């Protein structure tokens, strides 16, 4: 039985490996340099993202490190909601809370500000938002 399952998965992967070559690719924009973060509000406004969830740590909020960004977002007409409960190695509960805040506040984008744990939390929360019927554990 395990061998049949293995063959099925390999065939599935092969079909999608061919199919993905025919799908359109999104051109990603890489922002670099001093102050590049302050280009984000204008990009969000241009893409008509009216509300964004900022996922970060309590330390960033406490040090007021994101205050200039919040001001720039406000000037661009983009509302922001802050989720600052990310701890090192975010738990499933933390990720689910971030996704729930996004849904409850009717956000249209996620902006992760911080290190690896913040990025992990934001990516998994975004995946859960995109696939609401799957739990974080289902996606593992």
Q: What is the pLDDT of residues 60-117, one digit of tens each?
A: 999 999 999 999 999 999 999 999 999 999 999 999 999 999 999 999 999 999 999 9
* Residue 100, Cβ density class (10 Å: 0-12 exposed, 13-18 middle, ≥19 buried): middle
Q: Tokens standing for 104?
A: 């409850």
pLDDT band at 26 (very low <50, low <70, confident <90, very high): confident
For residue 111, the cross-strand partners are: 54
CA distance 58 to 64: 10
pLDDT at 51 over 80: yes
What pLDDT score was predicted for residue 136?
A: 77
In this prediction, residues 17-26 reach a mean pLDDT of 80
Indicate whether this model's pTM tops 0.85. Answer: no
Cβ proximity of 30 and 40 under 8 Å: no
Q: Tokens standing for 82?
A: 């802050």
What pLDDT score was predicted for residue 60?
A: 93
Q: Tokens standing for 110?
A: 């996620």
């Amino acid at each position: 039985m395990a061998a049949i399952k293995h063959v099925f998965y390999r065939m599935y992967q092969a079909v999608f490996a061919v199919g993905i070559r025919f799908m359109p690719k999104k051109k990603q924009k890489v922002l670099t340099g001093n102050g590049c973060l302050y280009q984000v509000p204008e990009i969000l406004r241009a893409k008509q993202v009216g509300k964004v969830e900022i996922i970060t740590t309590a330390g960033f909020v406490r040090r007021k490190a994101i205050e200039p960004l919040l001001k720039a977002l406000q000037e661009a007409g983009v509302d922001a909601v802050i989720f600052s409960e990310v701890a090192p190695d975010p738990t499933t509960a933390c990720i689910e809370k971030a996704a729930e805040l996004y849904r409850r506040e009717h956000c249209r984008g996620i902006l992760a500000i911080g290190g690896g744990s913040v990025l992990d939390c934001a990516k998994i929360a975004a995946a859960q938002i995109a696939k609401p019927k799957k739990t974080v554990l289902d996606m593992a």
